[in-house]
Structure 1
Amino acid sequence: MSKQYTSSEPSEEQHKTRERIIAAASKVLAEKGYDATTLREISREAQAGPGLVHYYFGGKDALLVEVLQAAGQQFHQRMEHLIQQVPADQSLETFLTQLSERVGQEAEVYRLRYESFSLGLHNPVIAPAVRERLAQRREEIGSVMAKVMENTERTEGIKGPSVDPKILAALLLSLFDGLALQKILDPTFDLDASYQLLERMLRCLFSGHE
């Protein structure tokens, strides 16, 4: 993960520098992939010295995790805001639609996620960061699904079965990543049909139907 900073550089300036490096890394990594990307290219894109990239992040592995975390948090914030804005009975459909559309709109994010999984399996340095990011994704999905379940119960007037949002989030995370992988590797894969079936399955679960 990123380092703790002891520089005399003002904290606001530190934040801006880190955000600029993360944005540059996201662009370069998306264009060239993890293996072909160098820290020098990232520093050039960020208009920051290579030493600053090392100072703030330590290396490419940690920077990859930071890029994924930033993208995930931005998407989660959009989802939470959207769920609050749409009618309660449309919250599940809206959430799943956004996830499905994200595969096409941000395919590079998914590609980088898969690269991080591979690194996490073989690199003991990056493994804890990947594990932490997975836990954060489960928490993010769980918080949204808890709201969706609350909306479903309120609008339909039916108290469904007790479902642990954290367990549900773990299952959904596997589905989301697996479906995205199939679509990215096989453009003919019917992602929409898969998400439509998933929506029906979740509605049955929330309503208490077997």
Structure 2
Amino acid sequence: MTSPAAARGHEVRQRLLAAAAELVPERGWAAVSTRVLAERAGVTPSVVHYHFPSLPALLNEAAVGLLRQVLTEVEANLDTARTSAQVVEVMIASADGYTGTDSMSRLAVEAYLAAGRDEQLREQIAGVVDEFRHRLARRLGEHGVGAPDETAAVLLAAVDGLVLHRGLGAGPDAGPVAPVLRRLIS
């Protein structure tokens, strides 16, 4: 049984992570301050540092947690794929919910940019992406796709690229791209 104090602490921590997940896409990674974050979460700035060793640690945890959550949902959908073509369909469908300008897309872009300057964040994101890519490769291999590791890397990069290009207003819809990606794995 969890004590009331521990439950309150967990709830405050979750509010701080949620506030970070809202603020990064709204303002950009570098524009999120402890004061702004605390205000959004409805706590005092000292509470931020009580629950997290630093503001970057909080932002990193929020971003990596959400990226992991998104990829876990995609992986759960991959369980329904019975052919390699269906794997591609699942991957494309997973990208359909992201316009490139939605908050999750912006959070991912901001996190990738911040990871270029923060080695710990880079390692954390790389770990999440590597784990997913390995699981995707295993699925492709189960469906007889040659060079499953390399194919998974290209497929994942292509889907990420579609979302990134959508954010610039230059990305094609996934529908016309699907046949190209299906040819990649056949």
TM-score per shorter chain, which class?
0.7 to 0.9
Query: Which residue is 1:80 aligned to?
Result: 75
* Kept after mapping to 1: 8 A contact 2:68/2:128: no
Q: Per the alignment, do residues 195 and 131 of structure 1 end up closer, same or farther by CA in structure 2, a change over 3 Å counting? A: farther
RMSD of aligned alpha carbons: 2.7
Question: Structure 1 residue aligned with 2:141, among 133, 146, 149?
Answer: 149
Partners of 2:61 and 2:46 in 1: CA distance: 17
Query: Which residue is 1:133 aligned to?
Result: 125
The answer to whether residue 174 in structure 2 is matched with residue 180 in structure 1 is no
Deviation of 1:13 (Å): 4.3
Deviations 1:149-206 (A, max 9, x none): 32x24xxxxxx43x353x5444444333333222211x2421413344123212x2xx
Deviation of 1:140 (Å): 1.6
Aligned-pair identity in percent equals 21
Gaps of 5+ in 2: none
SS at match of 2:43: coil
Partners of 2:48 and 2:89 in 1: CA distance: 38
Question: Structure 2 residue aligned with 1:37, among 21, 32, 36?
Answer: 32
Deviation of 1:22 (Å): 0.7
SS at match of 2:99: helix
- Which letter maps to 1:179? L
Gaps of 5+ in 1: 1-8, 154-159, 205-210
Q: Per the alignment, do residues 190 and 43 of structure 1 end up closer, same or farther by CA in structure 2, a change over 3 Å counting? A: same
- The equivalences for 1:1-210 within 5 A come to 10=6, 12-84=7-79, 86-89=80-83, 91-104=86-99, 107-122=102-117, 126-150=118-142, 152-153=143-144, 160-161=145-146, 163=147, 165=149, 167-185=150-168, 187-192=169-174, 193-202=176-185, 204=186
Query: Which residue is 1:3 aligned to?
Result: none
- Which letter maps to 1:64? L
- Which letter maps to 2:160? D
Aligned length: 180
Deviation of 1:62 (Å): 2.3
Q: TM-score, normalised by structure 2?
A: 0.78
* Kept after mapping to 1: 8 A contact 2:16/2:38: yes
